[in-house]
Structures are given as structure tokens and as C-alpha cells.
Structure 1
Amino acid sequence: MTASPETGPLSTPADPVSVEVTDRLPPAAVAEVLALLEAALAADGVRPVSEESELRLQHGGVPSGSDVTARDAAGTLLGYARLELPAGAPDAEAELVVAPAARRRGVGTALLARVEELAGDRPLATWAHGQLPGSTELATGRGYTQARVLLQMRRPLDGVDPDPHPALPAGVTVATFRPGTDEDAWLQVNARAFAAHPEQGRWTRTDLELREAEAWFDPAGFFLAWRDGRLLGSHWTKVHPAGEAGDQPIGEVYVLGIDPDAQGMRLGRALTDLGLAHLRARGLSHVLLYVEEDNTAAVSLYERSGFTRFAVDVSWRRSPAR
């Protein structure tokens, strides 16, 4: 949810705002939304919607998803929201962004009100990336409360061993991901490792293959630990280009997951060391990761590993009136 970093009261639109809902935007409208996302990133310094929402905008998603757009009388795009009504999940989920030039005109309110209507009787959870003041004001003003807090943590890579030789358990070997071969094994371990995670644990083969098709995907930075043909865990790294997460390119601990049956083998530390070394070899100076704030054990572990808190994303949640 990116409304506005400015101060001042929210207002009713000076001009009529038309809010439209579609299962899939046509290519020309997708291009408009992508341009709006770029403008919001440049204005706010934070990506306005998640990677998942952007992928579904471009490639489509589950049948229960919708794209919601706000336009003025001339047809100019003022704002965008992505709504998901995942089957089997109690909450509807949304993200929204308002064009920087259209803020403080009630566009965010109009978008959020329409998304609330679409959510119906389900509670609605919406992410505010970067915890901008306008997003907080919009959410609290409509009765939302904080449900989750996601920390972005960062550390420099200059102290990373460029050639680690981690001690692996007997019989364990590490290899890089093989597109077209390792998908099923990785998805099984990912689902087990993140069974309690509301987003990561639901990934499908389509979700994985969409990311494999992205320009940033690099199997050389995707490390898998095997023993006797069984996948035990993995560390998938990512590189953000300059301008996406800062002025310079930056690495990410994208997905680090260990099968529950392999916990206690110190595979997480070994795979982390290999991934960080790979990112340093790419010439990067820093790395980021995301972790739930209430996962105190993981936060403490990352802090001991040199990571410090950098930014915050907040999931706001509201139950419909009964």
C-alpha cells in the first residue's frame, strides 16, 4: 500500500475517479501500470508492490485474483491494486499504489474501498511497503490494525570469505540448481520448510517457473544440498539491479530453506556461506534479506551474522463489520 509520504489531510477527489476491476489487464494497461510502479519506486525509494503481485500483473495468476485500476475522466491511470482471494485461506490479500502526482486526492481511499467491497465477508490484509506515513494514515483511518511486520535486514559483504569450504555432514554434497530437473524436489522441500508461512509455503511449479524466466534468475547462485538423491535444503540468491533496492546493485538471500527432517545439521549456515560468497564474487558490496519481526530466533541469528535492520513492511488487516 503506497499512498503518500506527504503530510496533510486525506481528501475527496477534486475530479471523478473511475475504479475498474478485471481478471486480467490487456498489455497496454499492464505497461501503464508498470510505468506507474517505476514512478512510485523513484519517488518513494521503495518497491510499491511485491514481486509476486508484479508477476501476476504481467503473467496472470490464480483465477481468484483481480487487477483494480483507478483513472480520471480523461482516462489517465491514477492508481492500481492487486487483489487475491486465495482458496482455503481466511483472508483476502491486496496491495495498492497511487501515482505520485495523484496523491492526496482520495485515489487511495477509492481503490481501497473497492477492494474491500470485493473482499466481501473475508478479512482483508494489505501490505504497506516501507511503512510510509500516508499508508499508515490511510490504513488506520479505515480501521486497520497491524497484523505482521516484515523486516528488511542488510549487511556488507566485505567480510565474507570469498572461498568458503563449509564442513558438510557425511554424505552431503552441494550442487547448483538444474532448470528442468530440480523443480519438483525443490518445491517439495520448500513446502515443508515453509509450511507455516502464509505466502512462501504455497508456491506452485508455475510460481517457480515464472521466476526462472525472469532476467535476474541465475542458477549459478541457487545452491542445493543433497544426500543419497534426496534434497535436504537450499539457498537461492538474487541480485537486484541498481535503482530497485538502492543506487547500487545489491544481493539478496532470496529463499533459504531446510527440510524439517534435516534441521540440526548446520546446513543453513553452510548454504548461507556459499551464497554470500557467490554474491561477493559478483562484485556486490551488500546483501539484504527479509524476516518476520516476531521470528526472534531468526532475527537474533541474522544480527549475530552482521545483519542490521534497514526497512520495515507492514501488513495491515481489517475484519468486515458484522
Structure 2
Amino acid sequence: MITWSWRDRLEGDDAVEVAALLAESVDYDAEAGFSTARPDAPASGAVHHLVVTMPPAGSRGSAELDRLPDVRVVAYLRLDRDGATAQAELVVRPAFRSRGIGTLLLEQLALAPDGWASMPGLVTLEGWSHGAHPAADRMRSRFGGVVEHAVFKTLRPLGGSRPFVAPVAAIRESAAPEAVTELVPGHRAAMAPGELATLGLVRTVIALEEGEGSALLGWDPGGAGEQVATLTVLPGEGGSRTALRELTVQALLVLQGAGVRMVQAYVDALDDVAVSVARELEFVHDQSDLRYRLALG
């Protein structure tokens, strides 16, 4: 049904068709915010591209498959390997999903001599699923993977008929650095473009005059009233719950004063204090992003 081959780089028809597959997937997954892949993204190690193809319509072995779009590339896997561990980003073309292609691919890679065995020393795959894609969890269960980390995406309205009210505390404001710190390392790697665009709005860093931690705030000053702002609260070393809550409160006041009406914030799901503060301040859970780990062999 499918064939596949590794590439050290994407060129020619492969590059064109993989780009088309990713563009189609991004558009299809825009509302759900599911993960994507970026062939040319910065890498921590050696990058390998796996191009998954299917025969032309009429020679696929079943009438059902023959009715699907007549395209050659049906899936793409980007592997960023650093020693024994590799970060994996897998995208299946939308029309070909829920047909076992991802499962079949991993089965073949596990058994074939030119699969994982062709990369001596590779023992672990890691990868994010943004939006908790159901296929990702099915494959985790099928191949014995584990959920290693999780990040909650939360939303909170501001202003309007129910403005956020709290005492103003002394804070320090500064311009955000070009390289923005991640809440959980690797979380942004396969994030959907829409989510990245919101995070790219970061413009200001605030910190309490008295208290640990900092908060990254981003909004479009010229945006319409329905715009979504971004907030990332970074607790300091040994920071207290009180300081974390106060920092979040002051961040909300700054955003509300700037005219923002909706705030999007990511929360480390393994940080009980951060989760508790988010709930107390009426942030509502929108989606869960999960980091999976799969031991090979």
C-alpha cells in the first residue's frame, strides 16, 4: 500500500510535494490547532526526512484507495536526531488519515533493515501532539509509548461587562528579548502556524518589584477587539504561590489596560501550583498538548 525512503535533504519533486502536503494539512487542521512539521526548521542534530508514497490511483490494490486523491506523497516524517534520541514530526495528508498509514509506517520502520535499524544507536523517539490528536494516542497505545509531559492551553476573557478587578502592584516592564524562553523545552517545535503567530506577538516582559519570576506578554496594539493576546508566566526559582498569583494578576491588568479582550496562556500541566493559580484566576482549559516518548526495539 505504501512505500517510503529516507532523504538527507528534500529536493525536486519531493520538496514540492511535501510542501503541498504540509500546506494542505495546516489549512485542514487550523481550527483544531494540530501539530505540523517544518522541514527547514533549526535542528539540534542531524535531520532525516522520510517521504511516504502511494502508487497512482488505479493501482493501489483496492477500490477504496483508488477513490482517494491521485497524489504520490501521502505522509512525511521529519527526524531531528541528537545522539540516542530523535525528535519526530509526522504528518499524514488529510484525505489519507484514519486508514492505518501511520501505524503501518511505524510497523515497517520497526522491522525493515532500512528503518530504525539503519540508524545505529538510536533508542528513543520523542514528539509533541498539539491538541491531543486521537491518532497520536492510538499509536502510543499500539507501540507502547508513554506520555512524558503535558502543557495546558488556557483562555481567559478580559474587559467587557465583567472587567478583571484587582489591586495594582509595583512592577518593572522591559522589552521582550528576541529569543523567547519556552515554558517547556521543545513545546513549540511542531506547533500550528496560528498558535505560533499568537506567541510571536510577545513584546513586553514584566516582573514584580518584590517577588520572583517574570511574565511574557504579547498583543497587537493595532488589532481589533477580538484579538487574542499571549501570556506566559515563568515562575522564578523557589517562587511562592503568592508571587506566581500576583505576577499573573498584574499581567492581566496590563493586558486589559491595553484593550485586550481575550488572553491565551500555556500552563505546565505538571506544575500543580501553576495549574491551581490558573484555575483560581478563571483561566479555562482549551486543549492539552502532550509530549510522547517511544523506546525503539
Per the normalisation by structure 2, the TM-score is: 0.67
Pick closer, same or farther for the CA change 1:129–1:25 going to 2, 3 Å.
farther
CA distance in 1, matches of 2:294, 2:19: 31
Q: 2:175 aligns to what? A: 177
Pick closer, same or farther for the CA change 1:218–1:311 going to 2, 3 Å.
closer
Cα deviation, 1:14-44, whole Å, max 9, x if unaligned, reads: xx333433356676456324413323414xx
CA distance in 2, matches of 1:216, 1:148: 20
Q: 1:130 aligns to what? A: 131
Output the aligned Cα RMSD.
4.1
1:260 aligns with 2:248: no
CA distance in 2, matches of 1:130, 1:218: 21
Give secondary structure in 1 for the equivalent of 2:46. Answer: coil
Count, aligned residues: 260
Q: 2:66 aligns to what? A: none
CA contact (8 A) 1:18 1:73 kept: no
Alpha-carbon deviation of 1:320?
Answer: 2.3
Give secondary structure in 1 for the equivalent of 2:103. Answer: helix
CA distance in 2, matches of 1:225, 1:110: 50
Q: 1:65 aligns to what? A: 47
CA contact (8 A) 2:153 2:286 kept: yes
CA distance in 1, matches of 2:120, 2:104: 14
1:35 aligns with 2:23: yes
CA contact (8 A) 2:75 2:92 kept: yes
Alpha-carbon deviation of 1:175?
Answer: 2.5
1:102 aligns with 2:100: no
CA distance in 1, matches of 2:138, 2:278: 31
CA distance in 2, matches of 1:214, 1:311: 17
Cα deviation, 1:104-158, whole Å, max 9, x if unaligned, reads: 3333135545497158542222323322333222221122233333322222223
Give percent identity, aligned residues only.
21
CA distance in 1, matches of 2:9, 2:104: 19
CA contact (8 A) 1:93 1:124 kept: yes
CA contact (8 A) 1:152 1:288 kept: yes
Gaps (5+ residues) in structure 2? 57-70, 190-195, 221-225
CA distance in 2, matches of 1:215, 1:264: 28
CA contact (8 A) 2:4 2:50 kept: no
Give secondary structure in 2 for the equivalent of 1:260. Answer: coil
For 1:318, the aligned partner's letter is L
For 1:68, the aligned partner's letter is L
CA contact (8 A) 2:169 2:250 kept: no
Give secondary structure in 1 for the equivalent of 2:102. Answer: helix
For 2:275, the aligned partner's letter is V
Pick closer, same or farther for the CA change 1:239–1:83 going to 2, 3 Å.
farther
Q: 2:168 aligns to what? A: 166
Alpha-carbon deviation of 1:214?
Answer: 6.8
CA distance in 1, matches of 2:278, 2:120: 36
CA distance in 1, matches of 2:154, 2:272: 13
Q: 1:8 aligns to what? A: none
Which has more radius of gyration?
2
Gaps (5+ residues) in structure 1? 1-12, 204-212, 241-247
Give the helix-richer structure, 1 or 2: 1
Per the normalisation by structure 1, the TM-score is: 0.63
CA contact (8 A) 1:49 1:129 kept: yes
CA contact (8 A) 1:109 1:138 kept: yes
CA distance in 1, matches of 2:43, 2:235: 27
Q: 1:83 aligns to what? A: 79
CA contact (8 A) 2:207 2:213 kept: yes
For 2:168, the aligned partner's letter is P
For 2:230, the aligned partner's letter is E
Q: 1:234 aligns to what? A: 214
Q: 1:46 aligns to what? A: 32
Q: 2:223 aligns to what? A: none
Q: 1:298 aligns to what? A: 274
Q: 1:244 aligns to what? A: none
